[in-house]
Structures are given as C-alpha cells and as structure tokens.
C-alpha cells in the first residue's frame, strides 16, 4: 500500500507519536496527509504561563485569517492560572474554536466582579469536559451567570467547578443543584467546590421524592459547610456512583489534587483560612440543624432504600465537624453492607476529644477493613494511630500510602500483617522506621514490589531486612530520608547492603547517610557521609526467590567484592544560605586517591582528622572543589544484586562509567 493510500484513522494515530517539526513536514507530503497531520498540530492548545499567553492573545487578533481557517481543528484548550485574560479574548476563542471538546480555565481568568456571562457559550456547545474556576458565586447574580452558561452546554459529560469562596452571603441550595442537573443530562463526572447552603428538616421529604441521576458515577463534593443534609441528598440523588469524595475542610491545596492526586501549580489564595479566621472549616449551627442528634441522623439514613450500593472508591476528609457527624457516615456504610475497595481517609486535628476521634477511626476500620485493597491514610495526631490495631485489620491490602506525623513504624510488623501488599508508600514526617527483631537467617518471604519512603529516619539494617524478605522488590524511591549506621573502624565503610535485591529503578532524593558512633564530632553536619560507591552483580538480572540466605550475606562486616564499582560524590552548589545538590562521578585520579586513603584507613586512624572550618549545608554538603574534605568521613558502599536505572537527586547514574578499583 502506498503512503498516500493510508487510511485517515491510521495517519491520525501516527501523528500522535510524531514531533511537531515532523508533523509540519508531513502536512506537505500529499493531499491525503494534510488534514490528519494538521488536525494533530492544532489538536491541543496549552497556555501555561503569562509569557505564552501574551503571545497567544496577540496572535488571536493579529492573525485572524489563520485562526479562522484552522480554529475548528482545536479540540482541547488549557488556560493556566492568572494569565490576565480579558473578555474580548475569551470571545475570540469562542468564535474560532467551534469544535472544542475539552476546556480548562484556571484561577484568575474569569472576572470576579462581572454580573453577566461573558461571551457566547453556546458556540462551545460541543464541549464534553469543562473545568472552570468561576469566582464570585457567593453573589446571587454570579450564580445566575454560571447557570446561564451551563444551560447552553447540554453535551457536558465531565464538569469541575471551583470557587474562591470570599464572604459566603449566598450559597447554592439543593434546588440550585436540581437546576444544574436539568441542564446536563449526560453528566457522569461531577466535581463541585462551591459554597453550599444549609438543608433543613422540612427539606427532607422533598429530597426523598427527587429523581436520581442514573449516569453519574463520580461525584466529589467539597465545601467548608457541607453537612449530613448534603450527604443525605447525595445518597438519594446519586445511587449509581462508584467514586465518591466528601471533603469538609478548606485547605490551600487544590481539591482536584486531593481527589485525583494530580499536579496543580501553587497560587496565592487571597483569603485567610488559618485557625480562628471566619473561613476556617467550622460548621455553623445553621448547617447542622437538619439533624439535632446522632440517633436522629442514623434513623433517617436507615430509612433510605439504599446508600451508595455500587461504591468502589471513597475519598473522605472529615476535619472540623461535630464528633458524631463522623460516625454517622461510617455506621451507615456498614448498616447497608457497602464494601468499597479503595479508600482515602484523612483525619486532621482531634475532633474536640481524643476519645471521639479514636472512635471515628475505629468505626471507619470496622466498616471497610475486610474489603479495602487500596488505602491512603493521613492522620496528623500520632496518638490516633496504633500499629497493632490497624495492621491486624486490613487483611486484603494490595496498595498502601500512609502519611503520619510523629509516628514510629515497625516495618516487619507491617509486612507480617499485610501479606498481599505489592506497593507501599510511607511519609513519616521525620520519624523512625525500624524493625523489631534481628534479621533472621531464613526470613518469611513477602511479595512487596514497590516501596516509597519520605521524611523518615532509618537504620541501614531495615534495608538489609527488606532485601532479605522481599525478593520481588523492583522499585525503590527514597525522598528526604536519613539513613543511619556506624562507620567501620577498619575500613571507613558505611554499609548499605541489599544483597538479594534486583531493582528496575532506584531513586534517591535528598537522602543522607549519617554515621553513629563515638568519634569526636561536635556538630551534626560533620556526621554525614557524602562519598558513595555503587556496586552490583551485573551478570544476574533475574529475580532469585530462593530463601537460602546466609547470615554472612546479610552481615555488614563482610565487604562485598566487586571489581568495577562506581564512585560518586554528593556535594552542594551554594546560593546564599541554600545549597542545591550536585552529584558527580569521580574520575580515575580521584578514585585512586580515595582507594589509597581507605586502604590505609585503620593504620592512619591517629592522624586522621576532619576539617570543621569547612562551610557545610544542613545536610553536611560541601562545594565540589572541597570534595577531599569529605574523605575522612568515610564512604558508603551501596550494594544491590542488580539495578537497572538509578538516580541520586535527579542525576542519572545508570550509564556512568566506573573506573577499576
């Protein structure tokens, strides 16, 4: 088949894997190729900064003929935060991009004070996905403008609306929500971060008679005044939902980042959400009037015909509510025997009383523990987390992400209880991760494949234990981790020994090696070891599931033989009081100098000294030209059976050339 005879669909697919320059060339190959490659070229417009926005908005008016000819090819348009867009520019885009399917307008692009809907949104009736920050919804006129906009977009399937709250003198009611749903019959994904009004007891009979939305399968409700009345509304309105998010706490992070874990650029929030401010997450008495007691609420929910019967994924942040409001949700979930498989649960400050907070967590565990396969748990109070209780409860966990504050965690207990675990992510806020026992000669094997650790202090024996027990481990990521051990008085070596581990990827970012012992050190920054040698058995690339490990292979006292180690030095590039981490590979002369030093390490111990006059960062880093001052600190011998790709502070070392030792 000749190239000119390739079907349009195939050319479209090819274009998605082609660079912009090559696409331009392909548009001129023949007439058949022109349309699919031009479509690919215009498919997505991403305006991610003010500089690009200035050029783009100028081009809209200066090159009208180009946009009139090709604007219909644009399918996706993304406008980042604070681009300085004016009304006329929005109108031009609506006129040119008439076949738009996906639109994202972030914070700071829609005028806050306009009392009308800008532009002709009917020209964008082809939209299926809309994400928009619509400010000023706390004013009734702005809410009307939003509804007018949505009324001409009946094809929407995904809707994400966020607001900056301000002074909420107007809040959306459940009747407003009914109006919204009447405009958007095809909606299946619905995310609302807007000020919601109160639901009263007299509203419940009307809500019970509402028609459900059969197409909606993902619903995220986020608000600092969301109450059980809105949960009652959601349970009746969205019976087919499989992914439900309920967050009751105004935070600076993006709500989409919370629910979907996507990256969102930081922006300055003009409002004060600090504790004690009027906008800080407190539920007013008006918002809680729908149910006066826990018993009344439980009775009302128990009379429902169903309660999210198809629920699979649940994201809950229950901060700053009355303590019994927490319990109602979890008790109702268990009452209807709803069994989600994926849970993200965040509990911040203790809710009025420690006992009540602990009761809330216990009820959550009781409701979900037997079915949960994916768990993301964030608890800011260390007293609310009891290792044995939580580890024993979740028997089917496959993926776990724990974010704890001031908690000491025993890794071996975790592995003993979570036997099906494949992925583990731990963020401990600079607390210890340890093991409770010595490394056994024949440890019980575990199927863990990926581990990520952040903000923790660990002894190197934890990694040796991990290597011995988790023979299928193939990915390890360490961020801001301090690894501790003693430096051998005979060799000057700090052992980081994972002899059974065969990693596809090893990433270490701001990882520090800190030696313990009695050497005369008055300053913590002089206890860091910044010379690292990386060794592996490159001839072995298959996993070895054998449990015939020996005590000798796990001993840090036995040097690991290897003829071609890679030597690197972790240093700092200082900018004022801060130091940017730099990793460089030692050349032949540097390696020879280091080897001579450590070959005579023990015999030269009396003359060995550390220069404390050298300027170091808080992580003990020096500038590259002073690398030799790090030699007396010792060196780290990082040994794995095999590593495919490894990075230290974003420096790829996989293809670095080692020099023979």
Residues 6+ apart with CB under 8 A from 544: 471, 500, 502, 641
Which two three-digit tokens encode residue 358?
């602990």
Tell me which residue of 147, 212, 210 sits closest to 183, measured CA to CA: 147
- CA dihedral of 484, 489, 494, 498, whole degrees rounded to 10: -100
Structure confidence at residue 36 (pLDDT): 64
Structure confidence at residue 290 (pLDDT): 85
Chain centroid to Cα 320, Å, comes to 23
Residues 6+ apart with CB under 8 A from 220: 190, 191, 192, 243, 244, 245, 247, 255, 259, 315
Structure confidence at residue 482 (pLDDT): 93
Structure confidence at residue 613 (pLDDT): 72
Structure confidence at residue 288 (pLDDT): 53
Could you identify the residue written with the tokens 């949505």? Answer: 150
How far apart, in whole angstroms, are the C-alpha atoms of residue 52 and residue 71?
18
Q: Residue 128 carries which DSSP code?
A: S
Which two three-digit tokens encode residue 492?
């000057």
Which two three-digit tokens encode residue 196?
């919601």
Structure confidence at residue 194 (pLDDT): 83
Could you identify the residue written with the tokens 């690919």? Answer: 40
Task: Report pTM.
Answer: 0.80
Structure confidence at residue 30 (pLDDT): 65
Structure confidence at residue 5 (pLDDT): 52
Question: Strands 342-347 and 374-379: what pairing?
Answer: parallel
Q: In 10 A of CB 105, how many CB atoms?
A: 20
Burial 234-248 (b: 16+ CB within 10 A, else e): bbbbbbbbbbbbbbb
Which two three-digit tokens encode residue 87?
């009304």
Residue 643, phi then psi, degrees to nearest 5: -135, 125
Count of helices and strands (H, E) across the chain: 18, 24
Could you identify the residue written with the tokens 């268990």? Answer: 334
What are the tens digits of pLDDT across the range 467-513?
999 999 999 999 999 999 988 888 889 999 999 999 999 999 999 99
In the predicted model, residues of the chain with pLDDT beneath 50 are 1, 8, 113, 115, 250-286, 350-354, 387-388, 519-521, 539-563, 606-608, 661
Q: Could you please report the per-residue DSSP string of 479-497?
A: EEEEEEEEPPTTT-EEEEE
What are the tens digits of pLDDT across the range 394-410?
788 999 998 887 778 88
């Amino acid at each position: 088949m000749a190239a000119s005879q390739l079907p349009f669909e195939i050319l479209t697919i090819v274009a998605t894997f082609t660079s912009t320059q090559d696409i331009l060339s392909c548009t001129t190959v023949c007439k058949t190729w022109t349309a699919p490659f031009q479509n690919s070229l215009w498919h997505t417009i991403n305006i991610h900064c003010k500089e690009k926005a200035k050029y783009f908005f100028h081009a809209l008016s200066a090159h009208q003929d180009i946009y009139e000819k090709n604007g219909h090819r644009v399918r996706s348009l993304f406008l980042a935060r604070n681009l300085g867009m004016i009304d006329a520019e929005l109108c031009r885009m609506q006129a040119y991009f008439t076949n738009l399917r996906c639109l994202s307008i972030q914070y700071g692009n829609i005028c806050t004070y306009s009392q009308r809907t800008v532009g002709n949104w009917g020209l964008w009736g082809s939209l299926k996905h809309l994400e928009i920050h619509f400010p000023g919804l706390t004013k009734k006129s702005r809410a009307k403008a939003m509804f007018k906009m949505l009324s001409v977009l009946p094809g929407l399937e995904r809707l994400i609306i966020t607001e900056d709250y301000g002074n909420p003198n107007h809040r959306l009611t459940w009747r407003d929500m009914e109006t919204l749903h009447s405009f958007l019959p095809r909606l299946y994904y619905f995310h609302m971060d807007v000020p919601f009004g109160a639901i009263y007891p007299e509203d419940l009979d009307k809500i019970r008679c509402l028609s459900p939305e059969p197409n909606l399968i993902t619903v995220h409700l986020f608000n600092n005044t969301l109450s059980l009345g809105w949960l009652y509304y959601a349970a009746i309105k969205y019976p087919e939902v499989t992914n439900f998010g309920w967050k009751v706490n105004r935070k600076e992070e993006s709500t989409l980042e919370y629910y979907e874990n996507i990256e969102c650029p930081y922006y300055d929030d003009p409002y004060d959400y600090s504790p004690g401010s009027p906008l800080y997450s407190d539920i007013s008495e008006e918002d809680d009037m729908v149910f006066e007691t826990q018993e009344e609420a439980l009775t009302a929910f128990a009379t429902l015909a169903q309660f999210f019967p198809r629920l699979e994924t649940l994201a809950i942040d229950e901060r700053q509510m009355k303590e019994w409001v927490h319990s109602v949700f979890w008790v109702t979930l268990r009452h209807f025997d709803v069994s989600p498989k994926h849970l993200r649960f965040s509990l911040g400050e203790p809710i009025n009383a420690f006992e009540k907070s602990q009761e809330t967590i216990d009820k959550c565990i009781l409701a979900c523990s037997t079915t949960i396969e994916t768990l993301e748990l964030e608890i800011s109070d260390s007293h609310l987390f009891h290792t044995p209780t939580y580890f024993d409860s979740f028997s089917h966990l496959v993926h776990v992400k724990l974010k704890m504050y001031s908690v000491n965690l025993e890794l071996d207990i975790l592995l003993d209880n979570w036997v099906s675990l494949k992925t583990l992510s731990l963020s401990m806020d600079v607390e210890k991760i340890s093991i409770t026992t010595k490394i056994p000669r024949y440890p019980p094997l575990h199927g863990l494949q990926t581990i990520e650790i952040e903000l923790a202090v660990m002894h190197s024996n934890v990694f040796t234990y991990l290597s011995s027990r988790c023979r299928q481990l193939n990915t390890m990521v360490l961020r801001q981790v301090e690894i501790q051990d003693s430096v051998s008085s005979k060799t000057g070596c700090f052992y980081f020994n994972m002899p059974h581990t065969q990693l596809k990827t090893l990433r270490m970012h701001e990882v520090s090696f800190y030696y313990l012992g009695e050497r005369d050190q008055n300053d913590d920054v002089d206890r860091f070891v910044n010379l690292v040698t990386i060794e592996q058995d490159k001839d072995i690339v298959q996993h070895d599931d054998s449990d015939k490990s020996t005590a000798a292979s796990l001993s840090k006292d036995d040097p690991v033989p290897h003829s071609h180690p890679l030597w690197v030095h972790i240093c700092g590039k200082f900018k004022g009081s801060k130091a940017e981490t730099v990793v460089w590979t030692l050349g032949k002369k540097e390696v020879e100098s280091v080897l001579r030093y450590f070959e005579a390490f023990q015999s030269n111990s009396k003359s060995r000294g550390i220069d404390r006059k050298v300027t170091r960062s808080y992580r003990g880093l020096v500038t590259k030209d002073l690398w030799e001052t790090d030699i007396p600190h010792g060196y780290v011998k990082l040994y794995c059976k095999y590593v495919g790709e490894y990075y230290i502070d974003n420096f790829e070392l996989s293809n670095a050339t080692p020099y023979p030792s």
